[in-house]
Amino acid sequence: MIIGVPKEIKPNENRVGLTPAGVMEFVHHGHTVLIQKGAGLGSGIGDDEFVRAGAKIIDAAEEIFKEAQMIIKVKEPQTVEIDMMHEGQIIYTYLHLAPDRKQTEGLMRKKVVAIAYETIEVDGKLPLLEPMSEVAGKMASIMAAYYLAKPYGGIGVLAGGVTGVHSAKFVILGGGTAGLNAAKVASGMGASVFVLDINAERLRYLEDVLPKNCQMIMSNKFTIAEEIKDADAVIGTVLIPGAKTPRLITRDMLKTMKKGAVIVDVSIDQGGCVETSKPTTHADPVYEVDGVLHYCVANMPGAYARTSTFALTNATLPYGLIIANLGYKEAAKRYEPIAKGINVLNGKITCKPVAEAHGLEYTPLEELI
Same domain, 137 and 282: yes
Mean of pLDDT values over 323-343 = 98
Q: Is the dihedral angle over the CA atoms 62, 64, 69, 72 positive or is it negative?
A: negative
3-state secondary structure of 51: helix
185 shares a domain with 135: yes
Q: What is the pLDDT of residue 242?
A: 80
d(CA 251, CA 46): 46
pLDDT tens digits, 52-104:
999 999 999 999 999 999 999 999 999 999 999 999 999 999 999 999 999 99
Question: Per the domain annotation, does 341 fall within a domain?
Answer: yes
At which of 277, 295, 313 does a domain end? 295
**Cβ proximity of 293 and 232 under 8 Å:** no
Are 82 and 27 in the same domain? yes
Strands 286-289 and 292-295, sheet pairing: antiparallel
Mind listing the pLDDT tens digit for each residue in 151-185?
999 999 999 999 999 999 999 999 999 999 999 99
Q: What is the DSSP letter of 74?
A: S
Does residue 229 sit within a domain? yes
> CB count, 10 Å around CB of 50?
27
Residue 199 domain-assigned? Answer: yes
Residue 125 lies in a domain: no
In this structure, are 243 and 318 located in the same domain? Answer: no
Q: Is 119 helix (H, G, I), strand (E, B) or coil?
A: helix
Share of the chain above pLDDT 90, in %: 97
Q: Which residues are catalytic?
A: 96, 269
Which one of 232, 266, 295 terminates a domain?
Answer: 295
Q: Quick one: 146 and 277 in the same domain? A: yes
Q: Which domain holds residue 115?
A: 2-119+305-367
Q: Are 196 and 224 in contact, with CB atoms under 8 Å apart?
A: yes
Q: How far apart are CA 141 and CA 233, in angstroms?
A: 9
pLDDT digits (tens, 9 = 90+) for 187-225: 999 999 999 999 999 999 999 999 999 999 999 999 999
Taking the CA atoms of 65, 113, 92 and 104 in sequence, report the sign of the dihedral they define: positive
C-alpha 351/C-alpha 63 separation (Å) is: 30
Q: Tell me how many domains the chain contains.
A: 2
- Residue 89 falls inside a structural domain: yes
Q: What is the pLDDT of residues 292-311, one digit of tens each?
A: 999 999 999 999 999 999 99
Q: Which residues pair with 44 in a beta bridge?
A: none
We report the CATH number of the domain holding residue 286 as: 3.40.50.720
> What is the rounded CA–CA span in Å between residue 159 and residue 183?
12
The yes-or-no verdict on residue 119 having pLDDT over 90 is yes
Query: Does residue 84 share a domain with residue 169?
Result: no
| 243 confidence band (pLDDT: 50, 70, 90) | confident
pLDDT of residue 241: 82
Q: Rounded mean pLDDT of the chain?
A: 97
Please tell me the distance from the alpha carbon of residue 50 to that of residue 17, in angstroms, as a whole number.
Answer: 12
With beta carbons less than 8 A apart as the criterion, state whether 273 and 249 touch: yes
Q: Cα(65)–Cα(13) distance, rounded to whole angstroms?
A: 19
Same domain, residue pair 200 and 250: yes
